[in-house]
Structure formats: C-alpha cells, structure tokens
Amino acid sequence: MSSDQIPLEVDIEGAVLLTNPLLNKGTAFTDEERTAFSLHGLLPPRVGTLDAQVARRLQAVRAFTRDLDRYVFLRGLQDANETLFYALLTRHLTEMLPLIYTPTVGQACEQFSHYWHFPRGLFLSWPHRDIINQILAHPRYDRIETIVVSDGERILGLGDQGAGGMGIPIGKLSIYTACAGLDPATTLPILLDTGTDNAERIADPLYMGWKHERVRGADYDAFIETFISAVTKRWPRVLLQWEDFARVNAGPLLERYRDRLCSFNDDIQGTAAVAAATLLAGTKVSGISLCDQRFVLFGAGTAGSGIGRMLLDLMVHEGLTRREAQDRFFAVDRHGLLVEGMADLQSFQAPFVKSRAAVAGWQLARPDRIDLLDTVRNVRPTVLIGVSGQPGAFTEDIIRSMADSVERPLIFPLSNPLSRCEATPADLARWTGGRALIGTGSPFPPVVIDGQPVTVNQTNNAYIFPGVGLAVHAVGARRISDAMFVAAARALAALAPKATQAHPKLLPPVEGLRDVAVAVARAVALQARADGLCAGFEDEELDRLIAAKRWEPVYRPYRRSR
C-alpha cells in the first residue's frame, strides 16, 4: 500500500471537518466517510473526485476578467481546501504561478485589508510583543518546519504595505508546497507588524494592521530579537526565510541571525542565485565567458549587491582574483555611480565602489554626477542588471548605446511588479534589433522577433528557494552557506535548454519547476555535506531522503480516531 492510501486518523466531524482546509475534501468524501464523520446532508449527494474538482475550479478561475479577482478566488480556495488548491496549482503551474505570486501579489498586498476573510498565518504586532512566546506555544503549531516572515516595509517595488505584506509570506509558502512539495501543515507565514509609514494605509478605514508609524532603531531591533528568541526556543531546527525587509534592515538581519538559526534572505540570496544562473546560461549563447563580461548594476541595494557578490564568487571560482573580478563591476544607485567619498555608502556596497582615479578620464554629461547613461557609454557593458524599482529607467538611449558595442547584450530588468520594471522586453528587442538576451523579474508575453514569437525568460526566485528549502529538510542542514546558493545557481544553469536556436530559452519551462526543485535540492544537499552543515549521508541515499520530504496533493482515506 502506498503512503497516499494509508488511512489518516481524524478526530473531528461535521461542519468542523468541512471548514478545516488541511482535511476538507469537499464533495470527494466517500459515502463511508460521510457516514463515519456525520457529513450526510452537509454535502450534495453525488460523490466527486479530485480530478472533477480541479476541472471545476479551473473553469471558475478562467471565468474572471481580472487577475486580482483570480487571486482572491484562489486564496479562498486555499483557505477552504488545501489539497484541491495545490492539485490545481501543480497541474497548471504556468497559468497559476503569476496569479498566486508576481505580478498579481503586489496588487493583492495593496488591497489585502479589503479582501481578507479567513485567518492564515500569524500577525505578531508591536503591542503584543510581550506575549509572542505564548502565541507560538499553541499546539496547533507543533509541526512547523518552515517559516517565511516579512515586516511588510519593502513589498516588491511598491514599498511599505504594513500588514498587507502578509501576502508575500503566504505566496512564498504556497510556492514551497507547489514546487518543492513541502507539507502545508508544516509551514507558517508570519507578518511582523511594527506599524507603517504608508499614509494611504493609515488613512484607510478598513486597514487591518496596527495604525501607528513604524517602530525603528533600538526598539525595532529588540522586537526582532524577541521574535527570533521565541522562534529558536519553539522550533530549534526550523528553516526561516526573510522576505521584503527594507534595505537598512535586510542585510544586517541576515548577518545577525544566519548563524543562530537556519535562515536566508530570498531577496538577497535567492534573487542573486536565479540571476546568476540565467546569466551563466546567457554566456553560452553570447560566446563571452563569465570572466570576460563587463557588468553594470542599476540599483545597488541589498538585492543588486547580492547579485554582484554572487557573480564575484563565481568569477573567483573560475580563476580571477577578487580584485580583477571587482574591476569588472560598476554599480549605479539613486545618487549615481558608486564612487569613493559619496555620502550614505553602505557596507554591503563596498566591493562595488570605484576610486576617483578609475573614472577620472570619463566623458560625462555633468561633472558632479555619473548617471546610468554616462556609465553605459564609458563602460560599454556586456551585462545590464536592473533592481531599482524605477520604471522605464532603461531608456532607448541607454540600450542603444549598450547594443552599439556588444553583439548579444545581456539585459535583465528584474524589478517587480510590472509597473516597476526598468524596461519592457518588447522595447529591448526593438532597440537592440532583436539581439538582446533578456531576463525579467515579472512574467511577460512572448516578443516577436523576425516574425517569430520568442519566450521571455522570467528570472523567478521560484527556480531557487523551493529546492534550497527541500534540501535543508531532506538532509537536516543546520545552516545555509553562500556556497549552497552558488551550488543552486550552477544546478539551475545546467538545466537550461541547449542553445540550438538564435533566441534560446535561458531557463527551464515553468511547468517543470517541480523537477527543477529536486535538481536544485540535490546540488544544495551535496554542498551542505561538503560544508559540514548536515549529518553525513551516502550519495545513493539522497534521492530517497528528498522524496521522503515531498507531500503530494492527493486525498487520503480517513477513519475515525480510536
């Protein structure tokens, strides 16, 4: 008997069972189960199947005209029947992924207080900081293995959404289950509500969060410390993923706590890994090796600097000195190119700060600032990466200037959602004569080049973090090293379709994300073993260990608890 057919003992019945999203089967309860659990009369008489339920819900999703309505419908389905929700997702990943996460989740976070109807996850607020241990202690959380947490301050490129940022942890954990197969009963989304500085949220009479300006400084740090102390006490081996914290907090929180519990920041490390993997695949098409590329990073925050650091590590691994690798990077932030002596430089930007002597001979539009166009004209980059949240920042002048000096420019406008993207793929294709190799943060429709539709590569973090989480749980990793993310990037790059066409795909198809998660998990697990961060295992054991952590969205038979 397969594990899916082993009866599950259930101790609730009637309407209580039908309103438990982890146990509800809806019309798929058998006649025997309906008798055993007092369900006759509460359901239509015809016994259904999971296949029929998926078809019915797919039809309903497609009937809506707005993606936000589709998102709200799917969230309602998740809160009613998780098995059905994940069966729908896994069977239609390409169609559903943009609805449950980027780009739709951005608008959903903005509207969160207007559609919320069912409790999911935990809101841990500043006024309740003294009872966090008590909140986490409830037996309903005994099985938790994976947490995604946000404070809602930097939601995608939309900024501070306060309590509405809960949409991000919910979405990321949905992807963990849909792609990596983590059991949803072991996952917990958490929103740390320390207020909001978004005047629109504060003025909204329906806003559900704590209506107060954000707590900052020592008080904020103490709140985070209280939270982490409570988490490590309750779940010493939990995996915690930091999501959408402001630049001033994201990096320091990761460095402060990455050695106290198994944690990572997906905006910094996951984004870096998928961008690096896509770029590695692109180098095979362009014919220019990674070590010979010239990089311009537009947006030198935690995400942009994280991408840069991972690429530096890869280039050093391939034979350059760190100094030689750093010389090939030029980072532009809101005040222009990062150069020594500039105000407000952050420690994580240090590898990308240029000396004044290095830019002394540049031709500039104005003497007091080196903007993006100046940088592109003087550097003649082969790679342009945008994580600025500035829509339209990659102008026609900038792109044409870049394309004049490189045959196959690699251009990655990665900012989310669509409204924050630095350039559209259609414009990039037009301005480069169809020569650009493009990766975007949000999904775009195919662009037409030489009369043929060409798929746009979406550098979605869903290619990376599900496999990382699966590896951590499969082999019991205690910590997550930078080398594990490098291994993830290399594994993903190896899965890129062979470059046999003029406009090849740089990433595997989205419908294959479940297989991608397993491949990434294998590479990350092997690196964890090499780093001494997990118990030893034999190579031939690894596939079994990974398979043992994968939950499938199928209905198991139920019987009454003895």
Q: What's 304's domain CATH number?
A: 3.40.50.720
Q: Which of 229, 260, 291 is the last residue of a domain?
A: 260
Domain count, the chain: 2
Q: Determine, yes or no, domain membership for 549.
A: no
* Same domain, yes or no: 426 and 342: yes
Beta strand segments in 243-382, E: 262-265, 295-298, 329-333, 336-337
CB-based burial, 116-155: b 16+ in 10 Å, e otherwise: beeebbbbbbbeebeebeeebeeeeeeebbbbbbbbbbbb
d(Cα 293, Cα 329) in Å, to the nearest integer? 9
* Same domain, yes or no: 312 and 243: no
What's the pLDDT band for 330 if we cut at 50, 70, 90?
A: very high
* Same domain, yes or no: 175 and 204: yes
Which residues are designated catalytic?
101, 172
* Sign of the C-alpha dihedral computed for residues 381, 383, 388 and 391 taken in this order: positive
pTM equals 0.94
352: which 2 tokens? 């990308």
What's the pLDDT band for 442 if we cut at 50, 70, 90?
A: confident
* Same domain, yes or no: 231 and 316: no
Predicted pLDDT at 500: 63
Q: How large is the average pLDDT for residues 300-307? A: 91
Q: Determine, yes or no, domain membership for 9.
A: no
d(Cα 185, Cα 553) in Å, to the nearest integer? 12
What's the pLDDT band for 464 if we cut at 50, 70, 90?
A: very high
Q: Determine, yes or no, domain membership for 432.
A: yes
Predicted pLDDT at 211: 96
Q: Determine, yes or no, domain membership for 1.
A: no
Q: Determine, yes or no, domain membership for 166.
A: yes
What's the pLDDT band for 2 if we cut at 50, 70, 90?
A: low
Q: Which residue ranges make up the annotated binding site for a divalent metal cation? A: 243-244, 267
* Same domain, yes or no: 202 and 127: yes
pLDDT tens for residues 89-139? 999 999 999 999 989 999 999 999 999 999 999 999 999 999 999 999 999
Q: Determine, yes or no, domain membership for 13.
A: no
222: which 2 tokens? 């103490």
* Sign of the C-alpha dihedral computed for residues 284, 288, 293 and 299 taken in this order: negative
pLDDT tens for residues 488-525? 999 999 999 876 677 789 999 999 999 999 999 999 99
Residues 6+ apart with CB under 8 A from 396: 427, 431
Tally Cβ neighbours within 10 Å of residue 31. 11
* Same domain, yes or no: 376 and 455: yes
Averaged confidence pLDDT in the chain:
95
What's the pLDDT band for 450 if we cut at 50, 70, 90?
A: confident
Angle at 441 between CA 473 and CA 300, to 5 degrees: 95
In which domain, by residue range, is 319 found?
269-462
* Same domain, yes or no: 121 and 73: yes
Please report how many Cα atoms fall inside a 13 Å half-sphere around the Cα of residue 145, on the Cβ side.
18
Q: Quick check: helix, strand or coil at residue 439?
A: strand
* Same domain, yes or no: 243 and 296: no
* Same domain, yes or no: 276 and 250: no
Whether residue 192 is predicted with pLDDT greater than 60 in this model: the reply is yes
Q: Which of 233, 260, 287 is the last residue of a domain?
A: 260
Contact predicate 27/46, CB 8 Å: yes
Q: Which residue ranges make up the annotated binding site for (S)-malate? A: 154, 416, 460
Whether residue 382 is predicted with pLDDT greater than 90 in this model: the reply is yes
Contact predicate 174/89, CB 8 Å: yes
| Amino acid occupying residue 109 | C
Please report how many Cα atoms fall inside a 13 Å half-sphere around the Cα of residue 481, on the Cβ side.
18
Predicted pLDDT at 367: 84
Predicted pLDDT at 207: 97
Predicted pLDDT at 498: 78
Predicted pLDDT at 3: 72
Q: Which residue ranges make up the annotated binding site? A: 154, 243-244, 267, 416, 460
* CATH label of the domain that carries residue 115: 3.40.50.10380
Whether residue 15 is predicted with pLDDT greater than 60 in this model: the reply is yes
* Same domain, yes or no: 217 and 342: no
Q: Which of 209, 239, 260 is the last residue of a domain?
A: 260
* Same domain, yes or no: 236 and 368: no
pLDDT tens for residues 230-266? 999 999 999 999 999 998 999 999 999 999 999 999 9
Helices (H) and strands (E) in the chain, counts: 23, 16
Whether residue 357 is predicted with pLDDT greater than 80 in this model: the reply is yes
Q: How large is the average pLDDT for residues 530-546? A: 96
Q: Determine, yes or no, domain membership for 290.
A: yes
Min mean pLDDT across 159-163, 370-374, 398-402, 453-457 is at: 453-457
d(Cα 106, Cα 165) in Å, to the nearest integer? 9
Question: For the chain, how big is the Rg over CA atoms in Å?
Answer: 24
* Same domain, yes or no: 218 and 297: no
What's the pLDDT band for 366 if we cut at 50, 70, 90?
A: confident
190 — phi, psi (to 5°)? -135, 135
What's the pLDDT band for 1 if we cut at 50, 70, 90?
A: low
Q: Determine, yes or no, domain membership for 339.
A: yes
